[in-house]
Amino acid sequence: MTDTHHPTALQGKRVLVTRPAHQAAPQINGLSALGAIPVVLPLLEIRPFSSPAVEFHHAKGRILDLDLYQHVIFISANAARFGAELIDDYWPQLPIKVNWLAIGRKTAAVLADYGIDADNNPLGYDSEALLESPTLQQVRGQRVLIVRGQGGREKLAETLRARGAQVDYADLYQRVCPVYSDSDIEQTLHQQRPDVLLVTSGEGLENLLLLAPGSRQQFALTNLLNCLLVVPSERIAQQARLAGFTRITTAAGADDQAMINALLPATDAESDK
């Protein structure tokens, strides 16, 4: 992951990497290659459901009924990975006449690795972008399965139901706020403040604001709110403004390349001030 137009833009910059631990390596490597100093603080922990959890058996039932759905939507790369593995366990051959859809390029790429050709809107990575898909405009009387982590936004299901679809969920994992010691938080966020924060989800931003003050609210947030913040959508940018962040750049998506591409010119602009 390189950028010939900005070969030294990130040199020596401390950049907070907040992806779940098992997904952080590509972003860490990309930043390091550009001279940045990655500071790792995962803001979400991904915990897949397994037997005997009720959620696992509920999701398994949805997967066994996969051929009853006209559309199957994968919300994230984690949903794609866990979902494709479960599908592989019970469907040696994929059911026919199913429209496979993914939110974002990365999610579609994960599905492709499992032999599932999923459509995605290249102009956006969120529910709003996917809802512009031609195949989701006329869904009255059709069945839609949303493969996701437990909880999260209801925008997609609510809109599809308003269009007349029957929507079900297959919840495959939990997103949990990690636990850190006050020492970890102080060293990572406050002793030597990062120059840039990369946050790829609204839930991650909420967890950052929850963790940053420390267990006794002993750390001031002022300096952190003045950091350059890179987010993947205008929706999350607005969430950040409401939280008090003052320097926000919106990337073209949540994938590593889009986040770093947005960071490079933003960093140059800041350096020129």
**Where does the pLDDT of residue 4 fall: very low under 50, low under 70, confident under 90, or very high at 90 and above?**
very low
8 A C-beta contact, residue 110 and residue 22: no
Give the mean pLDDT of 124-149.
93
| Bridge partner residues of 196 (DSSP) | 15, 228
Q: Taking the model in full, what pTM does it have? A: 0.85
DSSP helix, strand, coil percent of the chain (3-state; round to 5): 40, 20, 40
pLDDT tens for 27-81 read 999 999 999 999 999 999 999 999 999 999 999 999 999 999 999 999 999 999 9
pLDDT at 152 over 90: no
8 A C-beta contact, residue 87 and residue 60: no
Give the mean pLDDT of 124-130.
85
In angstroms, the CA 79 to CA 175 distance is 11
8 A C-beta contact, residue 156 and residue 131: yes
Spell out the residues 6+ positions from residue 96 whose beta carbon is closer than 8 angstroms to its own.
67
- DSSP E strands in 119-195: the ranges are 143-149, 166-176
∠ CA 142-144-147, nearest 5°, is: 175
| Bridge partner residues of 99 (DSSP) | 71
| Bridge partner residues of 11 (DSSP) | none
Q: Which amino acid is at 157?
A: A
Determine which of 1-5, 38-42, 121-125, 215-219 has the lowest per-residue pLDDT on average: 1-5
Residue scoring higher pLDDT (258 or 239): 239
Domains in the chain, CATH or no CATH each: 14-44+180-272 (3.40.50.10090), 47-176 (3.40.50.10090)
**Where does the pLDDT of residue 267 fall: very low under 50, low under 70, confident under 90, or very high at 90 and above?**
low
In angstroms, the CA 234 to CA 106 distance is 19
> Can you count the helices (H) and strands (E) in the chain?
11, 10
In angstroms, the CA 241 to CA 262 distance is 18
Pairing of strands 228-231, 247-250: parallel
pLDDT at 2 over 70: no
